[in-house]
């Protein structure tokens, strides 16, 4: 079950069985049903999560209109949390809920820091992961600045073909920054 998680870490930092077991012992398994919240605005965000199974969306709700704006999906092999709230221990400003029944591995801030301090390999993993995350967000900003709705959608289709059938189009539209009607008329 946690093999997915081990492979994920080992793609950056190879581990012995003991090392992986030690890391895993700092995580707790969380199971959620479809529509359940992982994080809700105002929450204390105590954990960062790795998705073992299922699919979640992270979004903010515009108070006036009540409209949701999705800025991240996470399926198997992805990480998710309200990073700002998690790191600065401030109340969550976003919501995360499940599009499917999901299973996640969660780690607390203190355990994360503890592992990073104890295990250079884990720390290295975190740093590399954070760097790649930064790069991918930067690419997404470039796309938002440069590309039309059509081009952004095409990029999404080629980059995440496995998500297209799994996530309702209205949510993908939100992620791309267009209305569902506009998305429906593309391609």
Partner DNA sequence: AGCCGCATGTGATAAATATCACAAAATCAA
Partner DNA sequence: TTGATTTTGTGATATTTATCACATGCGGCT
182 scored as a contact of a copy of itself (CB under 8 A): no
Residue in 31, 34, 124, 127 binding DNA, rule: CB under 7 A: 34
125 with 13: CB under 8 angstroms? yes
184 scored as a contact of DNA (CB under 7 A): yes
144 scored as a contact of a copy of itself (CB under 8 A): yes
168 scored as a contact of DNA (CB under 7 A): yes
For residue 148, give the 3-state DSSP assignment.
coil
Contact partner at residue 182 from a copy of itself, DNA, none, CB < 5 to 8 Å by partner kind = DNA
Rounded to 10 degrees, what is the CA torsion of 111, 117, 120, 123? 50
User: Structure tokens of 86?
Assistant: 């998690």
Strands (E), 33-175: 37-39, 47-53, 55-61, 68-75, 79-80, 95-98, 102-108
Contact partner at residue 179 from DNA, a copy of itself, none, CB < 5 to 8 Å by partner kind = DNA
Size of the site for a copy of itself (CB under 8 A): 35
Contact partner at residue 169 from DNA, a copy of itself, none, CB < 5 to 8 Å by partner kind = DNA
126 scored as a contact of a copy of itself (CB under 8 A): yes
Closest by alpha carbon to 163, among 59, 83, 54?
54
Q: Which stretch binds DNA (CB under 7 A): 3-11, 43-51, 124-132, 175-183?
A: 175-183
């Amino acid at each position: 079950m946690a093999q997915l998680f081990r492979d994920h870490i080992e793609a950056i930092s190879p581990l012995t069985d003991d090392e992986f077991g030690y890391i895993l012992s700092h995580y707790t398994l969380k199971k959620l049903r479809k529509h359940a919240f992982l994080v809700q605005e105002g929450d204390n965000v105590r954990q960062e999560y790795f998705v073992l199974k299922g699919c979640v969306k992270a979004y903010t709700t515009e108070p006036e209109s009540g409209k949701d704006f999705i800025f991240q999906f996470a399926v198997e092999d992805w990480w998710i949390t309200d990073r700002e709230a998690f790191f600065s221990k401030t109340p969550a400003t976003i919501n995360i809920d499940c599009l499917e029944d999901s299973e996640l591995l969660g780690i607390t801030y203190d355990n994360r820091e503890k592992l990073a301090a104890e295990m250079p390999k884990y720390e290295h993993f975190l740093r590399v992961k954070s760097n790649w995350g930064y790069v991918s967000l930067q690419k997404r900003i470039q796309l938002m600045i440069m590309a039309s709705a059509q081009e952004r959608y095409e990029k999404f289709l080629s980059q995440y073909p496995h998500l297209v059938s799994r996530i309702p189009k209205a949510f993908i539209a939100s992620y791309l920054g267009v209305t569902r009607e506009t998305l429906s008329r593309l391609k």
